Structure 1
Amino acid sequence: MSARILVVDDLAPNLHLFQAKLAAEYYDVLTARSGEEALKIAASERLDLILMDAMMPGMNGFEACAVLKGDPETWHIPVVMVTALEQTKDRIRGLEAGADDFITKPIDDFNMLTRVKSLLRLKMVTDQLLSHTGHTVGNSRPILQEINRKRGRVLMVHDQPRHIEKLVTALSEYHDVEVETDPVKAVRRAKGNFDAVVVSFVSNGFDGLRICASLRFNQESRETPILAIDDPENQARLMRAYDIGINDTVMRPVETQEFMARINSQLRRKFYADSLRENFNENLDMVVSDPLTGLGNRRFFERSTDPLIDALNSRGIPFSVIVFDIDHFKRVNDILGHDMGDHILREVSARLVTNMRAVDIVSRYGGEEFMVAMPNTTEAEAVAAADRIRALIAGTPIYVDGEALTITTSAGVSQVFKDEDMREALKRADAGLYRAKHAGRNCVFGSEQPKAA
C-alpha cells in the first residue's frame, strides 16, 4: 500500500534480492528483466520510482533511462542507476541519460533505502505541484525545467574547508555556495534565505548531529533540506540523524557527481515546494492548503475525492478513507506549549505524507485530525496501511528541544460504497476512531458495513 517501484535487472537473483528488501519496507514492487520490458511496464503502469541496472544485454540501463526521460509520459519518474561501475565516466554517462541518483553494487541496505525514500519524496512533491497547478505530465516539463534552472543558495558547514574545495567548486557553477566553519554562526546563518544546508559529520571542531537538531528546532530553518557528509561505517549515527530530520546523506570519499545528484534532488524538492506556496499565495480565493503543515485542508480533501466518487459510481473502482487523530494532543499543547504542538503537527504530517502512496490524498482536516483517501483500496487494505503508519509514528520519537517524545495516533477506517453519501462513510470512519480511542488509543479500527436497505 506504499509507493510502486520497478526493479530492472537481467539477473533473477538480483531481482529477488531487491524485491525482498523493498517488500519488507511495504513497497509495491514490479520487476523487469530487460530495458525493453521496463519501457513497456513504464508505459502501462503507474510508477513512483525505477531502480535500473546499468549493464544489461540488449538495451542497457543507460539507454533505457534516456528513453524514459525523453518520453513526455515517463520523464518525471525518478530513476536510480544500479551499477558495479565506479568510474567517473560511468557516473557522467548516467547523468547524461537523465538518472537522478546512483547505487553501487554490492548493495548496502541502508544506502539503498535512503536513496529510495529521498527520491520518493521528490516524486511526491512533483505530483503535488502538477496536481495543484492543473498541468498534465505531458505539458508540464517546460515549467519544471524552468524551476530546475533556478540558482539556489547552499550553506556548507565544515571545519576544514580545504577538504571540500572540489565540491564547492563544482556546486558553485550552478548555485551560490557559502562555507561556514563555526557551528554557532552556521545555525544563525541558516535562519537566512538558504535553500539547503550541507553538514559535515566528520569535523573535529563540532558535533554535526547537534547542528542538525538546532536547524530542525529553529522555525526559520525547520523546512530547509539538510544533506549530511559522513563515513559509511557510522550507520548508527546516520540513523539518529534521520530521526532528527535530515533529508539525505553522502558517504566519504565523496564523489563529485554523486554529491551533485544528491544536492540537486534536495534543491528541486525545495523549489517545487516553494512554487506550490507561491501558487497558493497568488490564488488566495482558491487556497486549499493548511498553512501550518502544507497539507491539503478540508476543502482540498472534499474536492480531491470527487473524482474518486465518480470512478466508484461509474466503474466500481473502490476507495477507502482513514481518519487519524493524535492521542492526548491537548495535554501535549498544555504542557509543552503551542509552538511545540505545532512542531508535532508538522512532524506527524510529514510522516503521514512520506509513508503513503503518491496517489493517496492526505489532508489536515482540523485540529489534530488528519484525513486520508486511498484510491483503489478496500477497507481491509486501508486498515493494514493505517496500522503500519500508526506503528511507524509510535515507534519513532519526535525530538522536541533535544528531548525524545513518543507520540501515538489512533485511526478509524471506512470503505466508501457505491451511490453512498460521502458523509456517511466519514461517519463510519469517525465511529472507528471513537472505538480506537475507547480501546486504549494507539490502535486502528475499521467500520461496520452499512446495513442493507
Structure 2
Amino acid sequence: MSARVLVVDDIELNARYLEILLCRDYYDVVHATSGPGALEILSDTSIDIVLLDVMMPGMDGFEVCRQIKSTPGTTHVPVVMVTTLGAPEDRVTGLQAGADDFLTKPVNEVALMARVRSLVRLKHLTDEIRLRAETSAELGVDQGSMTISDGDALDGNILIAEEPGFSLDLLQKTLAPDHRLTVVTNGDQVAATAGDGGFDLAILSFDLPDTDGLALCGQLRSMARTRQMPILIMVEGFQEEMLIKGLDIGVNDYLMRPIEPNELSARVRTQIKRTRYAQRLRDSYQKSIALAITDPLTGLYNRRYLSSHLKKEIESAGKSEKPLSLAMMDVDFFKEVNDTHGHDVGDEVLTQVADRITKNLRGIDLACRFGGEEFVIVMPDTEGAFAYQVVDRLRRQMADDPFVVSTDEGVLHLTASFGVTQLGGGGDNGDDMLKRADTALYEAKDNGRNRVVPLLA
C-alpha cells in the first residue's frame, strides 16, 4: 500500500526504528523532530498518517495533535501516538486531543503495522470523497460547514452487541447520557439490526457465544447498508491476533478489556466525528451530481440528462416491444413576458409551468427543461394517441388557470403549444423523435398556438 508517513520524534534512534519498519512495507517516510516542524510539513506536504511522539521539548504531542485536528486541511489525517507514556489518563488525554490511536512503547510491530494499514485505507477513502467534494465546490455547490466540532460527536446512533453483564452495564452507563443506544445480545441479531438502523457506530464484542467475530465484521463490511458504518470491537489481551485480522478486514477501532470508561467515550467520539465528516463530504458530492443533471430554476431534469435517459428508454422499448411517446412544449409569447415584466416574472412563470407538468404526469414519465421556455416529456409504455390526451389536458390547464406572478395585476393568462410523436421502427432514435416533436411543435405555433399537433414516424 503506497502511502506517506510522517514520523514525529525528537529522538533520532526512535524515529529511525519506525522508519525501518515502515520502509520494509514500502511506505514513504518523512521525519520531523519537533511539533512546529511537523505542522510545517503538514501544511505543504501530502501526508497519509502521522506517528507522533508525546514527550517532546516545546510543543508536546498532545498540542500537535490538537492543532492537526483543528485545522481544516489536516483534520482528516490519522494520528497515532507512539509514546512511553502508558497510564490510562495519558491514553484518554491523547484520544481527547483527537488521536486515532495511542500505542505504548515498546510497540508490537505487527499490531502497529496493522493499525497503519487500517488508517491509511481510511485516509485514502476520505481523500477520494474530499476530492469529489472539492469538485462540487468548483461547480458552485454550497459546501456548508466542513468543520468538525465537539458537538458533532454527540447524539450518535450506536448499536451495541454484547452479552448481559458488567461490561454491557458499563457501556450503557457511559454512553447513554450522550447517545442513542440499541442493544443486541447475540450475533444472529447483529447484521439484521445494523442493516435496518442507520447507525453511526457499531460496538461489537468478540466474545458473543456461537459467533465468529471476524466473520461478523466481514459480513457487515459486505452489506451495502453497513459498508460505511464504523466498527469498534472489544477484545481481550490474548485476542491480539484476531484484533490484527479485524483491522485488516475493515474494523475501525478497538477497546481492550477491561474497558476504561473515559477511553471508551473518547474512542466513540472520534468515530462519530469521522462518520459525520465523511457524510458531509458524501452529501456535497451528491449535490454536485444533482446539479449536473437538473435545471436549477425548475428542479426538472436538464437536457444533458434527457439525452442519456431517452436513449435508455428507447433501448428498453425495443426489448419489451412496448410503445414510447415524447412531447415537446413551448410557452406561447414567452418573450413578451420577459420584455414586458422582466426576467424575474418570467422565472416565476417557468417554475409554475414545471409544477403543472409534474402534477399531470405519472411516476414513470420524465419531464425535462429543454432550454428557455421549451420542455420535453418522455412517456414510456404510452401510445401516441394516449400521449396526445395527456398533453392536451395539460394544454387546457395552462390556458384555463392564470399564472400568479409579481405584477400589478397579480396574474398572467398564458397558453402553450405542443408537438407529440411516438417511437417508430427501423432504427428510429432519440434525435429523430426530438426533431419530429420539434417540427410538430412549430406546426402548432404556425396554426395559431394553444394546440397539440401529433407527428408520427
Q: Structure 1, residues 105-156: CA drift from partner, whole Å, max 9, x if none?
A: 22122332343234334433443343323369xx989423269346331111
The aligned runs of 1:7-406 (5 Å cut-off) are 7-71=7-71, 73-134=73-134, 142-145=145-148, 148-149=152-153, 151-192=155-196, 193-204=198-209, 206-242=211-247, 244-286=249-291
AA in 1 matched with 2:28 = D
SS of aligned partner of 1:127: helix
**Partner of 1:382 in structure 2?**
none
Quick one: structure 1 residues 287 and 158, their matched pair in 2 at CA, closer, same or farther if it must change by over 3 Å? farther
How many Å apart are 1:75 and its aligned residue? 4.3
Structure 1 241/45 Cα, relative in aligned 2: closer, same or farther at 3 Å? closer
Q: Secondary structure at the match of 1:234?
A: helix
Q: Distance in 1 between matches of 2:223 and 2:130?
A: 30
Q: What is the CA distance between 1:52 and its match in structure 2?
A: 1.2
17-26 or 234-243, larger mean C-alpha shift: 234-243
What CA RMSD, in Å, does the superposition of the two structures yield over aligned residues?
3.4
Question: How far apart in 2 are the matches of 1:159 and 1:68?
Answer: 38
Quickly say closer, same or farther: Cα 1:195–1:67, change in 2 above 3 A. closer
**CA positional deviation for 1:38:** 2.1
- Within 2, Cα distance between the matches of 1:264 and 1:57? 29
The DSSP-based 3-state class of the residue aligned with 1:227 is strand
Distance 1:279 1:36, change over 3 A: closer
- Is 1:209–1:241's contact at 8 Å kept on the other side of the alignment? yes
Distance 1:249 1:71 in 2: 26
Deviation at 1:242, TM superposition (A): 4.6
Cα distance in 2 between the residues matched to 1:119 and 1:197: 18
Q: Secondary structure at the match of 1:65?
A: helix
Determine helix, strand or coil for the equivalent of 1:160: coil
Query: Aligned pair in 2 of structure 1 residues 272, 63: CA closer, same or farther (>3 Å)?
Result: closer
Deviates more, 1:7-16 or 1:250-259: 250-259
> Equivalent residue of 1:220, what SS?
coil
CA distance in 2, matches of 1:285, 1:143: 20
Q: CA deviation at 1:70?
A: 4.7
Deviation at 1:238, TM superposition (A): 3.3
Aligned-residue identity in percent = 37
Find the aligned partners of 1:14 and 1:84 in 2 and give their Cα distance: 11
CA distance in 2, matches of 1:281, 1:141: 13
4+ residue runs over 6 A deviation: none
TM-score using structure 1 length: 0.55
Amino acid at match of 1:53: D
Map Cα deviations across residues 206-253 of structure 1 (whole Å, 9 max, x no partner): 432343344345443344332221123324333444565433333223
Tell me the CA shift for residue 28 of structure 1.
1.2
Are the counterparts in 2 of residues 129 and 272 from structure 1 also a CA contact under 8 Å? Answer: no
**Larger Rg computed on CA atoms:** 2
Query: Residues 71 and 194 (structure 1 numbering): CA distance in 2 closer, same or farther, change over 3 Å?
Result: closer
Amino acid at match of 2:217: C
Q: Please report the TM-score for the alignment, with normalisation by the length of structure 2.
A: 0.54
Across the two proteins, how many residue pairs are aligned to each other? 287
Q: Within 1, Cα distance between the matches of 2:26 and 2:143?
A: 30
- Contact 1:9 1:15 (8 Å CA) reproduced: yes
For 1:324-376, what per-residue CA distance to the aligned partner results, in whole angstroms no more than 9, with x for missing partners? xxxxxxxxxxxxxxxxxxxxxxxxxxxxxxxxxxxxxxxxxxxxxxxxxxxxx
Residues 34 and 159 of structure 1, relative CA distance in 2, 3 Å threshold: same
Distance 1:247 1:94, change over 3 A: closer
Answer yes or no: is the 8 Å Cα contact 1:156–1:197 preserved in 2.
yes
Equivalent AA in structure 2 for residue 152 of structure 1: G
Answer whether contact 1:201 1:228 (CA < 8 A) is retained: yes
Structure 1 gaps of 5+ residues are: 289-453
For structure 2, list consecutive stretches of 5 or more residues without a partner in the other structure: 294-457
For the residue of structure 1 that corresponds to 2:106, the secondary structure is coil
For residue 145 of structure 1, what is the amino acid of its counterpart?
I
Distance in 2 (alpha carbons) for counterparts of 1:103 and 1:85: 9
The separation in 2 between residues aligned to 1:271 and 1:237, in whole angstroms, is 28
Q: Does 1:2 align with 2:2?
A: yes
Give the whole-Å Cα distance in 2 for the aligned partners of 1:205 and 1:5.
40
Cα 1:256/1:108, change in 2 over 3 Å: farther
Shift of residue 54, structure 1, vs aligned partner: 0.8
Aligned amino acid, residue 190 of structure 1: A
Instruction: Assess, with a 3 A threshold, how the Cα gap between structure 1 residues 90 and 142 changes in structure 2: closer, same or farther.
Output: farther
Contact 2:220 2:226 in 1 (8 A): yes
Which amino acid letter does the alignment assign opposite residue 64 of structure 1? Answer: V
Check conservation: 1:158, 1:179, Cα contact below 8 A.
yes
Q: 1:174 to 1:10 in 2, by over 3 A?
A: same
Are the counterparts in 1 of residues 133 and 282 from structure 2 also a CA contact under 8 Å?
no
